[in-house]
Amino acid sequence: MPWVCIGDFNKVLRYDEHEGIGQRSQAQIQGFRDAVHVCGMIDLGYQGHKWTFEKKVVGGSYTRVRLDKALGSPEWYARFPLAAVEHLAAVTSDHSPILLKLDPLDRGKHGKKKFRYECMWDTHPELIPTVQHAWEANRPNLRAVKVRENSLSLSNNLGKWSKSAFGSVKAEIRRLEKELERLRNDPLRTAPSHAEIKTNDRLIELYLHEEIMWFQRSRVNGC
């Protein structure tokens, strides 16, 4: 039967999946390997940084372990031969999220983008002045056609302002996640650097903006 299990197994399959104190014994490793074998599962591997768990321990050193995995049956893998597991960057947890992509090359379909008021704009102090400036630029005229023209002008101005004030949230998140991964993969890294902490804090801010966006979309699509 095709099936897949993904998550935190709190176990390792090999010695090289653990770095630092608290190494698993050979019996523990073999026990997990036997369980995976009995269930007829295979490790789907991963892309990205090696560790999915990192924690500072007594003495100031760090323990890094690949605890999170995706295991699938051969039947499942035969159905999804292009499937790939990606280790993502974590900013508020000692566990890195992992993403299972059934087809990493599937880009989806993109239609014409419609104007949408973003609730995350409410967090920016320049929103109200921007709206006032765009709306008052075409005053005074209350005819219906002018109201429509003003609304179109306002939507265009807000779109331009959003790009300037917020940029592309998704694009910046992707860029910073790659930068965070680069910093954490530095072979000379022994602890989080100032640049890593700063990048991490910025990602937390952007994740909040993204969460607001997705919450807004879920309410719109659910109506």
Is residue 79 very low, low, confident or very high in pLDDT (cuts 50, 70, 90)?
Answer: confident
Contacts of residue 88, defined as CB under 8 A and 6 or more positions apart, other chains included, come to: 48, 96, 97, 98, 99, 177
User: What pLDDT does residue 113 have?
Assistant: 60
The proportion of the chain whose per-residue pLDDT surpasses 70, expressed as a percent, equals: 82
User: What pLDDT does residue 216 have?
Assistant: 64
Is residue 154 very low, low, confident or very high in pLDDT (cuts 50, 70, 90)?
Answer: confident
User: What pLDDT does residue 110 have?
Assistant: 52
The proportion of the chain whose per-residue pLDDT surpasses 90, expressed as a percent, equals: 21
Verdict on whether the full-model pTM lies above 0.85: no
Structural domains in the chain, sorted by start: 4-101 (3.60.10.10), 119-222 (no CATH)
**Contact predicate 54/62, CB 8 Å:** yes
Q: Is the pLDDT of residue 215 over 70?
A: yes
User: What pLDDT does residue 184 have?
Assistant: 85
User: What pLDDT does residue 28 have?
Assistant: 93
Is residue 31 very low, low, confident or very high in pLDDT (cuts 50, 70, 90)?
Answer: very high
By mean pLDDT, which of 69-83, 148-162, 168-182, 208-222 is the weakest?
Answer: 208-222
User: What pLDDT does residue 12 have?
Assistant: 93
By mean pLDDT, which of 25-39, 48-62, 117-131, 138-152 is the weakest?
Answer: 138-152
User: What pLDDT does residue 27 have?
Assistant: 93
Provide mean pLDDT across the span 101-111. Answer: 63
User: What pLDDT does residue 67 have?
Assistant: 92
- Mean pLDDT score of the chain: 80
3-state secondary structure 61-130: CEEEECCEEEEECHHHHHHCCCCEEEECCCCCCCECCEEEECCCCCCCCCCCCCCCCCHHHHHCCCHHHH
Contacts of residue 18, defined as CB under 8 A and 6 or more positions apart, other chains included, come to: 12, 24, 63, 64, 65, 66
Q: Is the pLDDT of residue 149 over 80?
A: no
